């Protein structure tokens, strides 16, 4: 009799197992902040604490966005106004640590990540919520700014005193602020006792811990077609940042002009379509994704080494994928996707 009931018992056991599956313990929230859509997932967190934490980080994102905004009045625009006067001044305590870290990463990148080219970004019309339409910036104005070569090296910070020797310097933390903010947010979540989380701000993310009994699973979007290019699993702690020419861009006469400006030419960098960087620190991943995009397929390895980045995937304009051996081990291409691969020497 007992044996006859065995299939039924097994079925019930399977049902119980399905009900206790990890999805039941995931908390998910979305909100608009930092100029983008922020998506958060916590695993194994008390629902009340999760809701409280989500609200807290939404507030943090709003505050940081105001403080570091490149063109809406706030602490960064006030700092830019002082830098333009070319006289030493006492730095704003809210902005100074961010600028210090941005300058450090700029130096490591050989200025390919250049947070001081705000004037160039303005010329291209990317300092607006709406994208520019119709006309390109004046060629001579671009050449003049490039000749002035604004650089983080022009800005000297001693204790809290800041001096600037180049009138072309104007900070725009767009290629860095999101990463720096996500690092801060993760510190906040940990201080609240949250150990398993993904914070995804407009496609750039940091994940800590795990999704229950499995790692976090992240899909990397294909830069040139709908759908996913590859996937990666994360456990413990990692940030994944991608810079792509498909993000903020506009087209004139069939040519695409995007927001990743090569500080050496003053024009959008044009040898890569996307660069994905995985790193423990989101600010580094963010700045490196931009710097390696600008460096392009011929020069990215040297810049990555200098910035201490070991997991990189660069898709060039021909669709060839360049990556480090470490990245090759970590990612899995989607079925049916088998691009031409060029694997670099190990960078460490």
Partner 1 sequence: MTRADRLLLLLVICTLPLLYAQLWQQDGTASHIQVLTGNDAPVTAPLAADRTLHVHGPLGDSVIEVSKGRARFLSSPCAGQTCVHSGWLQAAGEVAACLPNRVSLQIVGVRPRFDAINF
Give the binding site for partner 1 (CB under 8 A): 5, 8, 11-12, 14-15, 18-19, 21, 23, 30-32, 35-37, 39, 41, 58, 129-131, 133, 198, 200, 203-205, 207, 211, 216-221, 226-228, 231, 240-242, 244, 247, 250, 276
Which residue reads 């399977």 in tokens? 14
CB of 313 to partner 1, least distance (A): 11
> 39 or 310: whose CB is closer to partner 1?
39
Contact 268, 262 (CB under 8 A): yes
Contact 180, 283 (CB under 8 A): yes
Contact 135, 187 (CB under 8 A): no
> 104 or 221: whose CB is closer to partner 1?
221
> 242 or 284: whose CB is closer to partner 1?
242
Polymer length of the chain: 348
Which residue reads 């009340």 in tokens? 48
CB of 223 to partner 1, least distance (A): 8
CB of 265 to partner 1, least distance (A): 25
CB of 214 to partner 1, least distance (A): 10
CB of 304 to partner 1, least distance (A): 18
Closest CA to 265 of 257, 273, 255: 257
- Residues paired with 201 in a beta bridge: 38, 204
> 192 or 228: whose CB is closer to partner 1?
228
> 93 or 134: whose CB is closer to partner 1?
134
CB of 135 to partner 1, least distance (A): 15
Contact 241, 274 (CB under 8 A): no
Contact 245, 297 (CB under 8 A): no
Distance CA 149, CA 176 (A): 20
> 39 or 195: whose CB is closer to partner 1?
39
């Amino acid at each position: 009799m007992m044996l006859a009931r065995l299939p039924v018992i097994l079925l019930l056991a399977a049902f119980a197992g399905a009900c206790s599956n990890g999805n039941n313990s995931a908390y998910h929230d979305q909100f608009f902040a930092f100029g983008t859509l922020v998506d958060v997932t916590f695993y194994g967190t008390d629902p009340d604490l999760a809701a409280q934490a989500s609200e807290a980080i939404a507030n943090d994102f709003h505050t940081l966005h105001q403080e570091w905004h490149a063109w809406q009045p706030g602490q960064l625009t006030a700092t830019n106004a002082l830098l333009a006067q070319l006289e030493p001044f006492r730095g704003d305590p809210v902005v100074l640590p961010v600028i210090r870290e941005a300058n450090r990463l700029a130096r490591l990148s050989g200025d390919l990540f250049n947070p001081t080219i705000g004037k160039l970004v303005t010329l291209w019309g990317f300092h607006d919520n709406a994208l520019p339409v119709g006309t390109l910036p004046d060629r001579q104005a671009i050449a003049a700014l490039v000749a002035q070569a604004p650089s983080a090296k022009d800005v000297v910070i001693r204790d809290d005193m800041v001096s600037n020797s180049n009138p072309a310097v104007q900070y725009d933390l767009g290629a860095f602020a999101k990463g720096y903010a996500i690092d801060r947010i993760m510190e906040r979540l940990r201080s609240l006792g949250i150990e398993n989380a993904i914070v995804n701000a407009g496609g750039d993310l940091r994940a800590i811990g795990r999704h229950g009994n499995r790692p976090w699973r992240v899909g990397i979007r294909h830069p040139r077609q709908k759908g996913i290019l590859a996937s990666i699993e994360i456990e413990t702690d990692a940030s994944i940042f991608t810079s792509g020419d498909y993000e903020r861009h506009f087209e004139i006469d069939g040519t695409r002009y995007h927001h990743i400006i090569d500080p050496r030419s003053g024009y959008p960098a044009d040898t890569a379509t996307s660069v994905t960087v995985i790193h423990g620190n989101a600010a580094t991943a963010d700045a490196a994704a931009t710097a390696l995009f600008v460096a392009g397929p011929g020069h990215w390895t040297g810049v990555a080494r200098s910035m201490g980045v070991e997991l990189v995937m660069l898709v060039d304009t021909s669709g060839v994928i360049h990556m480090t051996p470490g990245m090759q081990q970590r990612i899995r291409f989607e079925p049916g996707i088998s691009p031409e691969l060029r694997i670099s020497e190990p960078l460490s």
